[in-house]
Amino acid sequence: MNHRQITQGLKEIGAAWAVRSDKWCSPNDPLDDQIKGIKTYHIHPDRSYPHQNSIKRFYSLAEIAAYIRACKKAAQATSDEKGMEIMEDFWAGLK
C-alpha cells in the first residue's frame, strides 16, 4: 500500500495520523528511541478520541497496512473474543 492508500485505510477503520503523516521522533517516544533518533509513524487508533496515551507507533507503512488488515479482520470476527485474538496475534507478530 502507498501513503495515500494507508491514509484511506486508516479512515476506513476509524483511525487517523497522529500530528503528522511522515516518520518522526516525538518527544513522547521512548527515551532510548529519542537518543538513537529512531523515527516512526504515529497513528491514533480512534480518531474520535485522539488521546496522547493511545498513539500507536509503527516502523513502516507495511506495518500500518498489516494493522489495517488485522483491524478489518477483527471487525468481521464472529465474536468479540475472536476479534481480540486476531489483534493479539497481530501485536505479538510485531517487533
pLDDT by residue for the chain (95 residues), tens only, comes to 899 999 999 999 999 999 999 999 999 999 999 999 999 999 999 999 999 999 999 999 999 999 999 999 999 999 999 999 999 999 999 86
H or E element at residue 36 = helix 31-36
**Per-residue model confidence (pLDDT) at position 1:** 82
**Per-residue model confidence (pLDDT) at position 95:** 65
**Per-residue model confidence (pLDDT) at position 61:** 97
**Per-residue model confidence (pLDDT) at position 94:** 85
From CA 77, how far away is CA 95, in angstroms rounded?
25
Taking a C-beta distance cutoff of 8 angstroms, is the pair 44, 16 a contact?
yes
- Rg of the chain (C-alpha set): 14
Instruction: Please state the domain count of the chain.
Output: 1
Beta partners for 56? 43
Taking a C-beta distance cutoff of 8 angstroms, is the pair 29, 56 a contact?
no
Rounded to two decimals, the pTM is 0.91
Strand arrangement of the beta sheet that strand 41-44 belongs to: 16-17, 41-44, 56-58
Residue 70 belongs to domain spanning: 3-93
